[in-house]
Amino acid sequence: MDNDKAHFFDRVYEVVKQVPFGRVTSYGAIANYLGAAKSARVVGWAMNNVSDRETVPAHRVVNRNGLLTGKHHFEGTLLMQQLLENEGIMVKNDQILNFKKHFWDPLKELGEPF
DNA sequence: TCCATGACATCCA
DNA sequence: CTGGATGCCATGG
């Protein structure tokens, strides 16, 4: 297997791990931070392929609309919402309220990797 | 190698 | 707001 391509997944994991408590980010933001804004789909794939759910808070990663599109991939349909609410994030109708307020942009917080 | 799918994003009707 | 279509990259049959 080519390690170069596999690095992309690890990159996603690292960024997600750096997401602070009570904050959320989007697939596109992570992809953009990695310099592949168009590869947002691959970011989601990395979440699905993630082995360490304990270290990788995938529940803090949602789509650009703040919608919990990936909640179906968790154990319970409400598990993802429960985890977010547990962090003080209000979720209504599978959508994060004040998403912009809880939004955590790696490019803005961590700064550009270059 | 080609085709289909996916936890996305963007555009257009 | 909703739905369809397109683009992107990676994985699997």
Q: Indicate yes or no: strand C within 7 A of the C-beta of A50.
A: no
Question: In A35-83, which ranges are E strands?
Answer: 61-62
Q: Residue A114: what pLDDT?
A: 56
Dihedral sign, Cα of residue A51, residue A53, residue A55, residue A61: positive
Q: Which nucleotide C1' is nearest A41 CA? A: B8
Could you read off the pLDDT of A41-91 as tens digits, one per residue? 999 999 988 877 778 999 999 999 999 999 999 988 899 999 999 999 999
CATH of the domain at A26: 1.10.10.10
- Residue A75 domain-assigned (yes or no): yes
pLDDT of residue A39: 85
The answer to whether position A66 is within a domain reads: yes
Domain span at residue A34 reads: 3-106
Point out which residues pair with A96 in neighbouring strands. Answer: A91
CB crowding A41-61: b at 16 or more within 10 Å, else e: ebbbebbeeeeeeeebbbbbb
| pLDDT number for residue A57 | 95
Q: Which two tokens stand for residue A21?
A: 């408590």
Which nucleotide comes closest to A72 if you measure CA to C1'? B7
In this predicted structure, what is the pLDDT of residue A1? 42
Average the pLDDT over A6-15 and give the result: 84
Asked if residue A112 is part of any domain, the answer here is no
Confidence band of A113 (pLDDT split at 50, 70, 90): low
Measuring CA to CA, how many Å separate A4 from each of A9, A12, A19, A51, A111? 10, 14, 24, 19, 23
Q: Is the CB of A6 under 7 A from strand C?
A: yes
- b or e along A69-101 (b: 16 or more beta carbons within 10 Å of the residue's beta carbon)? bbbeebeeeeebbebbeeeebebeebebeebee
pTM of this structure: 0.89
What pLDDT, on a 0 to 100 scale, did the predictor assign at position A54? 77
